[in-house]
Structure formats: structure tokens, C-alpha cells
Homo-oligomer: A and B are copies of this chain.
């Protein structure tokens, strides 16, 4: 919920205030509904003020993508404590899907909108920063199946993105699809570990 207080105490307009409001609009009405005018109205400032903190609407979208990707990484890292490799991958997969289904518009912004936003979220590929794929790569590498990481990630993305844009036509719940996929990769692993200790809600 974005507060309706208009700069009490003459509080300066901060980047994070803008981003909070922008995230709320995207989450509730989708990325297309994010306009500078609407955003300005929500935070109680004039549209012109936004340009003191962001060069453009696109810059705001980039920032939201970076932020969203970081949230996703945090959810995946919550599975680090699972000891068994197969179970950890399974937990990560479920956490990934859970993130997508819990924050569909954020997920959509990062991975389904525009290649530029995915680029922003993943960062400079030469900077060897952590990404969703690198996490899956790492998790699967230690189980001796490094080559599977892209397949697993892409399949998980398929489950989430079809759930987002075509739920009616994908009858099976995404979690069931995840289990089905991973049973193929790890026929032995059946137990379902604790997952997602903390589920942060957006805005």
C-alpha cells in the first residue's frame, strides 16, 4: 500500500519512494499502466520531479527489474541450507515457481517484457554477477549434471510464464509440473524439503 501522505515534514523525494510506488502500480495494473503522470500522482509530486531521480520511464523499469531479480535470487538462496543436492535443486525449483506465481507482474517485467529489462536484471555478463541461471548451474554442477541447468531453468520459466499468460490452458498446477520435470532429472529424490522460509510480499 502506497501511503497517501504528501511529503510530510517536507521530506525530499527519494529514489526508493518512487520505486516503491512504481512497483505497486506494476504489481496491481501491469507494466503498461506505469506512466510518469500516474506515478507522480501516487507519490504526490509533479511529473517533472521524477526526472530529478530517474532519467526516464525506462530507467525506472530497469531499476525495478534489477530489484525484482534480486528478490528472486534471495528466495532461491533461502534453499541453500538444504543438504541433499537433489532435494536442494527441487526446493530451488519450487521456490522459483512460487516467486513467479506470487509476483506475476514483476516476473513478467523481468523475463517476458523486453530483452533490455532481462539484461538489466542479469547485469553485465562479463561482471560474473550472480544470476538465476548461475545459481541453477552451481546447484546442478555439484550433482554432476552441469549441462542440465539451462534446460531446468528454461522449463521452469515455461511453467511460470504459461501460468501467467495462459493459465486456463495449462490445467496442471505449476508445482506438479516442477515435480514431474525433476522426477525425470532425479528419479530417486521423492522427499519434499522445507522451502521458502520467508516469502516477502511486494509493496
* A interface list, Cβ under 8 A from B: 111-115, 118-119, 122, 125, 131, 133, 147-148, 150-151, 153-159, 161-162, 165-172, 177, 180-181, 184-185
Contact = CB atoms under 8 A, between A and B. Distances in A.
A168 B181 CA distance: 24
Pick the 4 closest A-B CB pairs, nearest first: A158-B158, A155-B155, A118-B166, A184-B184
Contacts of A153: 158, 162, 170
A118 B167 CA distance: 9
A51 to B, nearest CB: 23
Contacts of A181: 151, 155
A149 B13 CA distance: 51
A136 to B, nearest CB: 12
Number of copies: 2
B180 A148 contact: yes
A154 B165 contact: no
Chain A binding surface SS class? helix
A18 B6 CA distance: 49
A114 B165 contact: yes
A133 B151 CA distance: 20
A72 B52 CA distance: 47
Contacts of A147: 180
